[in-house]
Structure 1
Amino acid sequence: MITQEQVDRILRLGGNGLPLVSLYLPVDPDHSGRRTYRSRLDSLLDRIRPLADDDSLEHPVRLSLRDDLAKIERRLGEEPRRAGTVAVFSCSGDGVYEEVWLPRGTHERVVVDADPYVRPMLAVLDESYRTCAVVVDKGTAQIWEYHLDEVRELEAVRDRVLRRPDHAAGPAEDRVRDKADEVSKRHYRRLVGELKRLFREGGFDLLAIGGHPHEVPAFIDFLTRDLHDRLVGRFTVDRDTVTATDIRDRVRGLVADRAYQEQERLVGEILEAVATKHHATVGLDDTLWAGSLAAIRTLAVDTDAVAPGVVCDRDGLLAAAGVSCPLCSDALREVPDVIDELVKTVIEDGGEVRHIEVESDLRTHLTGALLRFELPPHPIGME
């Protein structure tokens, strides 16, 4: 499983003057189709192979790329046995090689640039809500963690259950029922306390509750306000037979639905703020200018959007086109995807990035953002 430490390390990668290869190869062992894993890997590497023999490039650059090609072919030679995407970031000349596993498919892509191409990776991680899944009945509970499409059981909670005797009748039956209900309530209160501890210490984002349909609502009634606000949904399983696969399949759908809802909410918030002239902007040019000024609080990017552009390495200016920087007059460096540069800039400046997969009005604009302050006019030469 990819960790935050790996993500932070990848964001800081660079080739120190040498090119860095970023490669994303989706894998689905059960549905290979007409193009095999190996042929798709070869096809991606063939796109950059000519660079390794380009005499116009300096010898250390060509040598680093050749070593990258050989290393990637060797390391990715055997198809993984689970579905997802393998992502590689390599600059052999600078001793850089990072390989991470992403839990869902992305587009096939290979990019050679001065910096790592991270947008597909970050788009997957956007959906990685750390979710606490609880399977509960009146006397027991199983607590699971779901994150990046993997699950693990954290603990089991078991309390005393008072069985109702079949022969009880009248007042005796009422007393047994009342006692059984009180025992169940005590179990629910204990479980809520344990969940509050896990959310406090474990960094969970969401809560999902499963079990039999007639028992789950009774436990939900005991949730405190803070836990109820994290509740993403409920699912039906049998506690005695539930497996890790059952948990993953049920919770995956709930988390995906929440991600789409959050995307729709954010796009709506941005468009409404733009309409009311409230510290927001849409469109690539204005969003790049906002990123250049560290003005972006939350960036929304259409997940399929790719746009070439230019970057000023001296003052961080981002633009769709240009030859020299209007701020410092230095030459601008061309990049294959300026949106990727924008994403990294926003993260470095402490902003939030969300990739939008749902069909929305943002698709025609490519990017949009909630801003920290109103943007000044573009410098001359950028309008």
Structure 2
Amino acid sequence: MITTETVDRILRFNGGDLPVVSLYAGVGRDGPTALSTQINSLLHEIRPLERDGSLGRRARLSIRGDIERIENLEGLERVETGAVAVFSCSEGDLFEQVVLPRAVRDRIMVDATAWVRPMLAVLDEYHRACVMVVDRRSASAWELYQDELRELGGVQDPALRKPNYAGWYGLTEHRVRNRADDLTKRHYRNAVRLLDELFRAGDHELLIIGGHPEEVPTFLDFLPQHLRPKVAGTFTVDLRTATPADIRHSAERIVEQYERDEERRWVGEVLERVATRRPAALGLDDCLWAGSVAAVQALLVQDEATAPGVVCDESGWLARSGDTCPLCGRPTRRTEDVIDELADAVIGEGGSVEHVLADTELKDHIVAASLRFPLPPRPTPEPRS
């Protein structure tokens, strides 16, 4: 599982003039047995850089060390699904190997910074969800995150099974039914108390409820106001016969639908801001300028979109092209994916980056953003003489 600490280390790494090798390799149909072959094939693409005279000696040595490290990756046989991401700068003491919960396109890049956007795109897809499966006498809470389901706790309370058990208690059928309802209500309150404790102690974003279709709506009525907006959906399941795999598959379908709906909502909100002339940017040029002046509050990126461009490491200026930075006059650095540089800049300024998989109007613009303030006029870069 990818941790926040790992992502922060990669994002904050600065090797100066040393290049960083970023590699992504997905587990294909042949499983982990073919993963080493895929990785070696990707490394073949950058081997000529070991002898590239345009690079400094230390940079070439670093790339050579990176290739050797990645060739000798350990634990690949245990990666059964998803993908492996590696970030390496051997002369700069960076080496991070992470397993991604879903497959990504195989690719390798050598650049001044780690190419983190494919990894961030995967992380964006995964909300930390609390899944509660409940019936009249039992409740079980689980956490679903990055395709992994782990049990958090449960509640077990007494319950009367049928009204015809009246004779066992010396009560009338009506009183037994009232007694059963009281026990069910008490049980639901205990289950809600467990949920409240989990949400207050953890960082769950979503709540998913499973159970019998005639019981789930009643249980939802017991949720306090602060938990109701977190409900992403419900599913039908029998707690007594359901396996963890059953619960995980049902919850994953709800989370996936929630995520696509959320992406459509985000895109709609930014397009509305554009239409009503509120601070927003649409398209790569405007978004790059917005990232250059730290105006981006939330950046939306079409999944898998890439674009070459330039960046000024001194001023933070980002653009499709330009040999000289128009803000400080220094030479720019070329990059294979300026959208990745933009995403890094937005995160560094406290903004958010969301990758959109849903079919929306964003595919015609690649990127869009809601802004903190209106954009100032964009300068025109002067070509290097």
Give the TM interval when normalised to the shorter protein. Answer: over 0.9
1:97-144 CA distance string (max 9 Å, x none): 001111111111111011110111111111221100011011111110
- Report deviation, 1:234: 1.1
How far apart, in 2, do the equivalents of 1:81 and 1:87 lie? 12
1:276-312 CA distance string (max 9 Å, x none): 1111110101100000111011100111210111111
Contact 2:163–2:177 (Cα < 8 Å) also in 1: no
1:2-56 CA distance string (max 9 Å, x none): 111111111112323211101111114xx229x9333321221111111112233
- 1:156-175 equivalences under 5 Å are 156-164=154-162, 166=164, 168=166, 172-175=172-175
User: Are 2:85 and 1:87 aligned?
Assistant: yes
How far apart, in 1, do the equivalents of 2:208 and 2:45 lie? 44
- Report deviation, 1:199: 0.8
Contact 1:68–1:90 (Cα < 8 Å) also in 2: yes
- Report deviation, 1:76: 5.2
Q: 2:96 aligns with which of 95, 98, 104?
A: 98
1:235-291 CA distance string (max 9 Å, x none): 222212333222221111111111111110011111111111111110101100000
* More moved, 74-83 vs 150-159: 74-83
Question: What letter is aligned with 2:213?
Answer: P
Secondary structure, aligned partner of 2:226: helix
How far apart, in 2, do the equivalents of 1:185 and 1:293 lie? 55
1:173-229 CA distance string (max 9 Å, x none): 111011100110011112112211211111110001112222222211211222121
Contact 1:86–1:102 (Cα < 8 Å) also in 2: yes
- Report deviation, 1:82: 2.1
Distance of aligned partners of 1:179 and 1:167 in 2 relative to their CA distance in 1, 3 Å threshold: closer
* More moved, 228-237 vs 238-247: 238-247
Distance of aligned partners of 1:77 and 1:192 in 2 relative to their CA distance in 1, 3 Å threshold: closer
How far apart, in 2, do the equivalents of 1:218 and 1:129 lie? 26
* More moved, 72-81 vs 6-15: 72-81
- 1:102-113 equivalences under 5 Å are 102-113=100-111
* More moved, 47-56 vs 261-270: 47-56
Structure 2 gap ranges (5+): none
How far apart, in 1, do the equivalents of 2:323 and 2:132 lie? 57
- Residue 20 of structure 2 corresponds to which residue in structure 1? 20
Q: Alignment identity in percent?
A: 50
- Report deviation, 1:77: 7.5
* More moved, 157-166 vs 113-122: 157-166
How far apart, in 2, do the equivalents of 1:301 and 1:184 lie? 47
Contact 2:324–2:381 (Cα < 8 Å) also in 1: no
How far apart, in 2, do the equivalents of 1:43 and 1:7 lie? 26
- Report deviation, 1:165: 5.0
How far apart, in 2, do the equivalents of 1:378 and 1:275 lie? 20
How far apart, in 1, do the equivalents of 2:326 and 2:165 lie? 89
Secondary structure, aligned partner of 1:225: coil
The RMSD of aligned alpha carbons is 1.8
How far apart, in 1, do the equivalents of 2:57 and 2:146 lie? 41
TM-score by length of structure 1 reads: 0.95
- 1:12-91 equivalences under 5 Å are 12-28=12-28, 31-32=29-30, 36-75=34-73, 78-91=76-89
- Residue 273 of structure 2 corresponds to which residue in structure 1? 273
Question: What letter is aligned with 2:197?
Answer: R
Secondary structure, aligned partner of 2:60: helix
How far apart, in 2, do the equivalents of 1:367 and 1:167 lie? 64
Structure 1 gap ranges (5+): none
- Residue 176 of structure 2 corresponds to which residue in structure 1? 176
1:62-90 CA distance string (max 9 Å, x none): 21111111111111584434211111100
User: Are 2:135 and 1:133 aligned?
Assistant: no
How far apart, in 2, do the equivalents of 1:81 and 1:203 lie? 27
Contact 2:128–2:143 (Cα < 8 Å) also in 1: yes
- Residue 379 of structure 1 corresponds to which residue in structure 2? 379
Distance of aligned partners of 1:130 and 1:167 in 2 relative to their CA distance in 1, 3 Å threshold: closer
Distance of aligned partners of 1:216 and 1:77 in 2 relative to their CA distance in 1, 3 Å threshold: closer
Question: What letter is aligned with 1:63?
Answer: L
- Report deviation, 1:152: 0.7
- 1:329-340 equivalences under 5 Å are 329-340=329-340
How far apart, in 1, do the equivalents of 2:46 and 2:236 lie? 49
How far apart, in 2, do the equivalents of 1:59 and 1:334 lie? 20
Aligned length: 379
How far apart, in 1, do the equivalents of 2:321 and 2:174 lie? 78
Secondary structure, aligned partner of 2:72: helix
Contact 2:20–2:112 (Cα < 8 Å) also in 1: yes
How far apart, in 2, do the equivalents of 1:309 and 1:44 lie? 23
- Residue 303 of structure 1 corresponds to which residue in structure 2? 303
Contact 1:38–1:79 (Cα < 8 Å) also in 2: no
Question: What letter is aligned with 2:103?
Answer: G
* More moved, 50-59 vs 135-144: 50-59
